[in-house]
Amino acid sequence: MMPTDSKRVPTSRVAGLLAWLTLWSIAFGMVEGAVAIYLRRLCYPDQPADGPLFPLRLVEPALLHTEMAREAATLLMLLGIALVAERRPLRRFAAFAFCFGAWDLAYYAMLHVALGWPASLLDWDVLFLLPAPWSGPVLAPVLVSAALVGGAALVLRCVDDEAPSPFRVRDWCVQIACAGLILWSFLWNVGPVARLQPPGAYPWWLFLTGWLGGLAAFAWRFRNSFLRAPIGRPAYSLQRSS
């Protein structure tokens, strides 16, 4: 058992932090949604605002490169707010994951309210352009974002600035591998999408393997590190053998 005198993060601090991160992410998600609406009007002038995105339209290289640069800047801004909000690397990562998930959910909520799109969570979307077009049903990134928000909130609640990290190297390796499977599913149709053709079937089997695997690994570590504490020890004291 690793001795520690630290205590859980005070509820008031966590509530205040999550409230501000949520407000920031919602505002940023609305800005992202507004940009997507402008791009739809620019790239799809001859179809309804809630029309399908695929097959993609050919756009000017300058516009494409501008959008790719904007996406990179978006990631930098999400990272920036996390660096400002926290000082410990693990909590900074959790803040980034929380903001990313909440921002993405707010983005889709903004589009649904403004355009009526997506009409269904199974509607396809262009998720990202770096380094190549990511695509998939809206449900896939929504599930990822919901998991990020929930997992990050738990970390911010249970791991304070002084407590040892509950995650081992193997935990990070598992999460990276699961994230790789999810990314692979998003890039599964990169060939036809880049050629301005309709995408093929989405590999749900690949996505769910990564998503459920990541959730299971996180839940196992959380259960062993935070919920299995002997009497007299904080719930987040860690066993080296776990």
- pLDDT tens per residue across span 38-64: 999 989 988 888 888 999 998 899 999
Give me the chain's average pLDDT, please: 88
| pLDDT given at position 242 | 38
Alpha carbon distance 106, 33 (integer Å): 8
Residue 22 tokens read as 């949520």
pLDDT confidence bin for 4, thresholds 50/70/90: very low
Helices 139-158 and 89-115, packing angle to 10 deg:
140
Average pLDDT over residues 89-96: 94
Residue 187 tokens read as 């890039």
Alpha carbon distance 127, 118 (integer Å): 13
Q: Would you say residue 239 has pLDDT above 90?
A: no
Q: Which residues are bridge partners to 137 per DSSP?
A: 124
Query: In b/e form, how buried is each residue of 149-184, taking b as 16+ CB within 10 angstroms?
Result: bebbbebbbbbbeebbebbeeebeebbeebeebbee
Q: Would you say residue 163 has pLDDT above 90?
A: no
Q: Would you say residue 138 has pLDDT above 90?
A: yes
| pLDDT given at position 228 | 59
H-helix segments, the chain:
11-43, 61-85, 89-115, 139-158, 169-186, 190-194, 204-222
Give one word for 116, left, alpha or beta, with left for phi > 0 and alpha for psi -120 to 50.
left
| pLDDT given at position 5 | 39
Alpha carbon distance 46, 61 (integer Å): 20
Q: Would you say residue 132 has pLDDT above 80?
A: yes
Listed in sequence order, the residues at least 6 apart from 163 whose beta carbon sits closer than 8 Å to its beta carbon are 4, 6, 234, 236
Give tens-digit pLDDT for 174-200.
Answer: 999 999 999 999 999 999 999 999 999
Radius of gyration of the chain (CA): 20
